[in-house]
């Protein structure tokens, strides 16, 4: 499902992603749940996590696939903007929990 974001007031706290945004910059973003606004229009709610080497991945809740492979992505060039909904922190002893 796509929505037209042209008439939506986007908060100043929203992060703007440039096409050149690299993993170094993304590593400063907390793990959690975000609204991702796509360059080709529309929006998704997505989990944002970290790979073993710190690179960030995203997994939109509305992406579907016949196979589970390919649902999570590191192709941030698709993303126009991201807005944090809820931050999560990782503790090796207890796992993920709300910040």
Q: Which residues contact 77 (CB under 8 A, 6 or more apart)?
A: 19, 39
Look at the block and give the residue holding tokens 């050149």: 20
Query: Do the domain assignments include residue 23?
Result: yes
Mean pLDDT score of the chain: 75
Q: Average pLDDT in the 29-56 region?
A: 91
Element (H, E) at 23: helix 23-26
The boundaries of the domain holding residue 60 are 15-98
Query: Do the domain assignments include residue 19?
Result: yes
Q: Average pLDDT in the 48-72 region?
A: 83
Query: Do the domain assignments include residue 74?
Result: yes
Is pLDDT at 12 greater than 70 in this prediction? no
Query: Do the domain assignments include residue 56?
Result: yes
Percent of the chain residues topping a pLDDT of 70? 65
Percent of the chain residues topping a pLDDT of 90? 29
Query: Do the domain assignments include residue 7?
Result: no
Query: Do the domain assignments include residue 75?
Result: yes
**pLDDT tier for residue 36 given thresholds of 50, 70 and 90:** very high
SS3 32: strand
Q: What's the total number of domains in the chain?
A: 1
Give the end-to-end CA distance of the chain in Å, rounded to a whole number: 30
């Amino acid at each position: 499902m796509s929505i037209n974001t042209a008439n939506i007031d986007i908060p100043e706290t929203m992060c703007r992603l440039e096409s050149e945004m690299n993993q170094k910059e993304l590593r400063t973003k907390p793990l959690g749940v975000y609204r991702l606004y796509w360059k080709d229009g529309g929006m998704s709610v997505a989990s944002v996590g970290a790979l073993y080497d710190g690179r960030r991945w995203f997994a939109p809740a509305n992406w579907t696939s016949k196979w589970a492979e390919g649902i999570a992505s590191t192709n941030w060039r698709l993303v126009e903007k991201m807005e944090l909904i809820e931050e999560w922190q990782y503790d090796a002893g207890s796992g993920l929990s709300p910040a």
